[in-house]
Structure 1
Amino acid sequence: MRAALALVMLAGFFVLAVALAGGLTAIAIWRFSIGDPEGGVWMLVVAIGLGGPALWATLRALFARPEPSGFQMARETYPELWRHVDELAQVAGTRGPDDIRLVDGANAAVWERRGVRYLELGLPLVAGLSVGELRSVLAHEFGHYGGGHTQLSAMTYRAKLALQLSLRGDRVFGLLSAWAHLYALVAASESRDHERFADEVAVTAAGRDAARRALLRSGPVGEAWSDYLTTYVSLALIAGRTPPLLEGFRSYLDHPRRVHELRELERRMAELEPTSVFDSHPPIRERVATMALLTGGDAPIDERPGWTLLAGIPAEAASFLIGVQGPPATWPELVALSGPAQVRRYADALRHAGKVSKVGETLADVLAALERGELHKLTGRPVDASLTAAQVHEVAVETVTELLACTVADQLVSANRATLELNWGGMFVLRLPDGAALYPEDLVEPAVRDANRVPEVRLQLQAIGVNGL
């Protein structure tokens, strides 16, 4: 019933827009007919301004078509992946996808067009989840097939696109805007029911433990993927070389420090996830709690890495999705090629922050500002107003720690007092002439977190050859 109501309301939005534009146009014509051209012109301008965007968006959306993207995973090339897909689709009681695409982004989605079913599977999920967790993700998506949630996907795709296009900007008539928000409320309620149904399918097909773990891990894996791209894959972009990308992400996730960080992130993301009546998914903590109450689903988790289902995937597939080009290189080779430029870029960012904040551009200036308790001068006001004061402070600490560590590394590397080595638990390891390993982030973080520790950190930096302090 709510699905039908949502579609009726979606159609009603455009009927309302047409009626509004048509009514105002009729008034404009009447004003012209009674000899009031000025009033007619103004009314015509209002008609075009209020009804025009919705009508134009509708015309654009009518010709829009969802198109498959990403790297196609052919059945004959990836039989192990398709074997699991066929098995899970059978458990879900539905026909499986006809086309599987590997895409960038930590997400999975199903849709269909003209009877052809598509599955989009995010590369970070394949690289970061176990086979059991990945099976749960697939089973959840097939639950949408079995529940008939994708049958109207082409129609709703065009309708939602038209709605989004017509609501762009700030010149939307209040009644149209209110109607759109009411539609979003009804559609979100229906979508949440769809997600609960798909979760039940995931538990039945893949097991309760795998389903719960997949839910909790998917978000943190997405965050880890973003950090991996920023911190490590950026080295490949600088050098114009292609490292083993999936293997690199697995090494990143397997580092003890990252394992701990992801566990903490799972807990925080589940606890702090905001909720809204407009959300299309129930909060993860609620979904996990509901799964614990479902009967059955006691299958053991297949702990093999998810990417074992993609045996034989060519390196250029991941490179294509991420946008990395160039001849192959190992990760240690990339650090030697791009590491100095990377730390220099971060050091320049800290100098710029010091200049803009008037704290000072040198390393000594930054340490002095930290000693005065002026950390937040360097980071400025938060962009996200929803963050709490504690969250803002933590982001500031993490940002300045990273920039300060790179500034220290830049000075030592530039002076030939240290070399850079790969570190999957942080940005780099600094190898000193005597062979000692130095972790610059661990070294400077106490000074960033506690103004009273600055003198101690300053002495340690001087002891390893950092000048000008």
Structure 2
Amino acid sequence: MKLFSRTLSWLLLVSIVPVLMIVIMSALIALNVYAFIVSPVTAVKIAIGVVPTVLVLGRGLWVLASKIDNPVHGVPVSEHEQPRLWAMVRGFAQVADTRPPDAIYVIEDANAAVMEDTRLLGLISTKRHLFIGAPLLAELNTAQFAAVLTHELAHYSNRDTRFAGIAYRSRRAFAHTLATLNGGDALQRGLHFLLRHSGAPALRVGADLSRRQERLADEASAIAVGSAATITAFQELAPIAVSWNQFRSNHLVMGWSAGYLPADPFGGYRKLRASLHDEQAALRANPPNESDPFDTHPPMRERIAAIGALGAPGTVRVPAGSALGLLRDPMPLLDAALLAELPPEARTKRRVDWPTLVRVCGLASLTEHTGRVLAAAARLRAGPPSLRTLLDALDAGLLTELGEDPAVPSGPGDGPRVRRERSQLIVRGGLLGAVATVLTDAGVARWIESWPSGGVLQLAEEHKNSLSGLIESAVSERPDTSGLRALLNAAVQPQGRQGHRGTSTGDEDPRPDGHAQGGQAPQRVVEGLHGAGVYGGHHGVDPPGGPHGQPGRDHSWPARPAGR
């Protein structure tokens, strides 16, 4: 009876807005038809205002009726491949008194969700999908994972997923219609007022019903695995979500433009979480508590308090251990889920360990202007684009010319001082990148992991306090490169012996000597500096392979299905 009541409530709520739109549209059409019968001339005048309004309402109804193109994301997991995971899902589906899902997918998002394909406005169920986030599998223990899993399966038993699609389309149609109505037209302005004051309360009631469904799913989870396990699981969701967003935005793709991806992404993610210990602890202690009348989920703090008040001991014994223990060979599966949501060129990237990635990205960040400055030095001194040529140009007093782009004329208000200071910034960065490349190749400087920033350049003890001063001396008004030359001369190795590229775990370059990424030969940064030839990328790192362009924060990650 309760299920029938909730079903009827959903149907009534999601139908209020479209029924109101149909009634208004029908009334406007009937008015225009009646006017045409009485006076065709008057009908034409009325139609000028009525027809655009009817079209707006019609488009809104089309948005409601049209099918949303929401393809299933993630890596499908069969029962043959992951029997322990499927066994747990089936077991807790039985506990939740519902049919298990027909398909399980591992997704890269820090979320778990359920979805149900339906017909006849949600009255007939066809196929059920369960989505499990790779970060949850990697970071939750089995009891916490069971709590999240039971919560999602309870949405099936309560038939919440049946009407999630039509409810979303109803909200989308309402928002689309309000946004499309023309505020400059009196009729449409009045219609906007009517819809906003009649549809918004219905949507608010629908959101309240969704929040009640979430509380029922929380209760089912607590009864199954216990309030304590459910609370710890829910307390962990916000820390995982926040740290995962930071990881995938700042660390996962930090080597993208250079053609690299980490070989062990979840190893790096664990290091990031460990480095954010205080922030993560604060999120656990004080989960987000923001609320809005249209939110479909209650505030997490409120949910945790309600679960604690139940004091449920749990009815199912869950074995101890990490949720990863439910998977056979888990890391390739999690990695595949991650790659599935990156652009296709991700599969062409070179996979390297974190120390190598830190070195590559660190050098890339320092050598933004290096290629430009070396090319300018070669042009001005009629020599090779090398560090020695750059130092010779600085000694010759060509600082301003080194930082200027010949293709871009100076502004009319750019005096000598402005030009010099602007060039000094560019040349300082370019010189630092070239020097850092040489010192890294020589093993004098080492790139080490430093979470959460990713990595830092660590110089040998005898050089750590002198490098910045030597760089400043070289780009000063009265340049002096002798100290920098002496440092480089002491750092580089004899001709014919290639220096190792230092990392935090070893000095060996993982490439075969003489072969850069993509089969390109490495280019000299230092050529004949006091008789030493040191190899490095022209821009300070291995020449990249594959397309460039780092996906930014607005990259389209998988949409969250209805859930959690």
Q: TM-score, normalised by structure 2?
A: 0.61
1:124 aligns with 2:135: yes
1:280 aligns with 2:296: yes
State the match for 2:339 in structure 1.
319
Q: Distance in 1 between matches of 2:195 and 2:245?
A: 37
Deviation at 1:78, TM superposition (A): 1.1
Deviation at 1:320, TM superposition (A): 1.8
How does 1:19-418 map onto structure 2 within 5 Å?
19-33=23-37, 34=39, 35-36=41-42, 38-60=44-66, 63-64=67-68, 67-113=71-117, 114-169=125-180, 171=182, 173-242=192-261, 243-253=263-273, 255=274, 257-270=275-288, 273-297=289-313, 304-313=321-330, 314=332, 315-323=335-343, 324-325=346-347, 326-342=349-365, 412-416=432-436, 418=445
Deviation at 1:199, TM superposition (A): 0.9
Deviations 1:395-417 (A, max 9, x none): xxxxxxxxxxxxx9998555326
Deviations 1:362-392 (A, max 9, x none): 9x99xxxxxxxxxxxxxxxxxxxxxxxxxxx
Change in 2 beyond 3 A, CA 1:345/1:311: farther
Deviation at 1:304, TM superposition (A): 3.3
Deviation at 1:144, TM superposition (A): 1.2
Change in 2 beyond 3 A, CA 1:228/1:189: same
Task: Report SS of the residue matched to 2:73.
Answer: coil
Q: Distance in 2 between matches of 1:435 and 1:308?
A: 48
Deviations 1:298-317 (A, max 9, x none): 68886633333333243433
Deviations 1:10-35 (A, max 9, x none): 21211211221222223333444412
Change in 2 beyond 3 A, CA 1:282/1:58: closer
Task: Report SS of the residue matched to 2:109.
Answer: coil
Q: Distance in 1 between matches of 2:246 and 2:218?
A: 28
Deviation at 1:101, TM superposition (A): 1.0
Change in 2 beyond 3 A, CA 1:337/1:150: same
Change in 2 beyond 3 A, CA 1:261/1:304: farther
Task: Report SS of the residue matched to 2:350.
Answer: coil
Change in 2 beyond 3 A, CA 1:151/1:21: closer
Could you tell me whether the CA contact under 8 Å between 2:63 and 2:169 is conserved in 1? no
Could you tell me whether the CA contact under 8 Å between 1:98 and 1:117 is conserved in 2? yes
Q: Distance in 2 between matches of 1:287 and 1:197?
A: 10
Deviation at 1:265, TM superposition (A): 2.8
Could you tell me whether the CA contact under 8 Å between 1:207 and 1:301 is conserved in 2? no
Structure whose residues are more often helix by fraction: 1
Structure of larger gyration radius: 2
Q: Distance in 2 between matches of 1:224 and 1:128?
A: 11
Deviations 1:225-270 (A, max 9, x none): 11111221122422323422223222322x2x32222112333443
Could you tell me whether the CA contact under 8 Å between 1:54 and 1:163 is conserved in 2? yes
Q: Distance in 1 between matches of 2:42 and 2:32?
A: 9
Deviation at 1:211, TM superposition (A): 1.0
Deviation at 1:464, TM superposition (A): 9.3
Task: Report SS of the residue matched to 2:114.
Answer: strand
Q: Distance in 2 between matches of 1:302 and 1:23?
A: 63
Could you tell me whether the CA contact under 8 Å between 2:102 and 2:128 is conserved in 1? yes
Select 1:13's aligned residue among 8, 13, 17: 17
Could you tell me whether the CA contact under 8 Å between 1:137 and 1:214 is conserved in 2? yes
Could you tell me whether the CA contact under 8 Å between 2:239 and 2:284 is conserved in 1? yes
Could you tell me whether the CA contact under 8 Å between 1:28 and 1:41 is conserved in 2? yes
Q: TM-score, normalised by structure 1?
A: 0.72
Q: Distance in 2 between matches of 1:57 and 1:248?
A: 43
Task: Report SS of the residue matched to 2:130.
Answer: strand
Task: Report SS of the residue matched to 1:277.
Answer: coil
Could you tell me whether the CA contact under 8 Å between 2:362 and 2:457 is conserved in 1? no
The residue identity in structure 2 corresponding to 1:137 is V
Deviations 1:255-290 (A, max 9, x none): 2x32222112333443xx212222211111111111
Change in 2 beyond 3 A, CA 1:195/1:228: same
Change in 2 beyond 3 A, CA 1:170/1:36: closer
Q: Distance in 1 between matches of 2:236 and 2:430?
A: 35
Task: Report SS of the residue matched to 1:97.
Answer: coil
The residue identity in structure 1 corresponding to 2:205 is V
Q: Structure 1 residues 32-41 or 160-169, which shifts more?
A: 160-169
Change in 2 beyond 3 A, CA 1:140/1:59: closer
Could you tell me whether the CA contact under 8 Å between 1:32 and 1:39 is conserved in 2? no
Q: Please, which runs of 5 or more residues in structure 1 have no aligned partner? A: 347-360, 366-407, 438-458
Change in 2 beyond 3 A, CA 1:115/1:4: same
Q: Structure 1 residues 234-243 or 107-116, which shifts more?
A: 234-243
Deviation at 1:212, TM superposition (A): 0.9
Report sequence identity in percent: 26
Could you tell me whether the CA contact under 8 Å between 1:209 and 1:301 is conserved in 2? no
State the match for 1:441 in structure 2.
none
CA RMSD, Structure 1 to Structure 2 (Å): 3.6
Change in 2 beyond 3 A, CA 1:155/1:57: closer
